[in-house]
């Protein structure tokens, strides 16, 4: 089935201005008729998921793909594991596996990567929301997923990512970094999977 809708979810402290989001947007702009959305996600995970659910409320059960980077990969997985969206294809880029654990060390005032003047409070309540949003430990259909995992990720453990997305399509990179600064080189593999 042809890809008709594509959603991109950025990571913690990131935005639609990230290099990967802009590269996905540029690719999507070259696909006639493809609906592309890349919302700015609020700090609250619950609000982020509500905003995304509202955005995709009218989207079909098939012909849709979601790409998520880091925390966005966690959100993408949680979204795609919901019953109504189990026909969606998914790509996760250095996905956060247990963000409630990892981000509990970041409670306090944070700055946005792409606009250091923009500050927000990350709270214990936000950590609790992440724990509540955790998708089931087993993916319903691993073949729907593509995991791009960098061994050179300086923030997340690539072995944990690989275990979480075992049985999925994808690529494990020997080097690279958390931000996947070489993402452009791996974009063709991602979009091949998304197009089914």
Instruction: Quote the strand ranges of 50-184, DSSP E.
Output: 64-69, 89-93, 108-112, 115-122, 145-150, 169-173
All structural domains of the chain with their residue ranges: 5-194
Tens digits of residue pLDDT in 3-12: 999 999 999 9
Quick one: pLDDT band at residue 1, thresholds 50, 70, 90? low
HSE-CB of 138 using CA atoms within 13 angstroms: 2
114: which 2 tokens?
């792409």
* Dihedral-angle region of residue 191 (phi above 0 means left; psi in -120 to 50 means alpha; beta otherwise): alpha
Quickly tell me which residue has 């849709």 as its tokens.
64
Given this model, what pLDDT does residue 21 score?
97
Q: pTM of the entire structure?
A: 0.95
Maximal C-alpha separation, the chain: 45
Residue 131: HSE in the Cβ half-sphere, 13 Å Cα cutoff? 11
CATH T-level fold of 5-194: Rossmann fold (3.40.50)
Report H helices in 69-179. Answer: 71-80, 99-103, 124-133, 158-164
Give 111-168 pLDDT, tens digit per residue.
877 777 778 888 999 999 999 999 988 999 999 999 999 999 999 999 999 999 999 9
């Amino acid at each position: 089935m042809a890809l008709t809708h594509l959603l991109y979810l950025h990571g913690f402290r990131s935005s639609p201005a990230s290099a990967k989001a802009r590269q996905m947007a540029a690719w999507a702009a070259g696909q006639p008729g493809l609906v592309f959305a890349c919302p700015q996600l609020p700090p609250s995970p619950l609000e982020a998921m509500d905003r995304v659910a509202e955005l995709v409320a009218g989207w079909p059960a098939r012909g849709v793909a979601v790409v998520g980077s880091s925390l966005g990969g966690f959100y993408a997985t949680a979204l795609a594991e919901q019953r109504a969206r189990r026909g969606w294809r998914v790509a996760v880029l250095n996905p956060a596996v247990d963000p409630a654990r990892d981000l509990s060390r970041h409670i306090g005032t944070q700055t946005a990567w792409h606009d250091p003047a923009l500050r927000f409070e990350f709270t214990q309540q936000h950590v609790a929301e992440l724990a509540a949003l955790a998708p089931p430990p087993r993916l319903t259909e691993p073949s729907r997923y593509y995991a791009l995992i960098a061994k050179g990720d300086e923030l997340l453990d690539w072995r944990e990512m690989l275990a979480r997305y075992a049985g999925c399509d994808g690529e494990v990179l020997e080097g690279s970094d958390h931000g996947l600064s070489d993402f452009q080189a791996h974009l063709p593999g991602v979009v091949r999977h998304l197009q089914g």
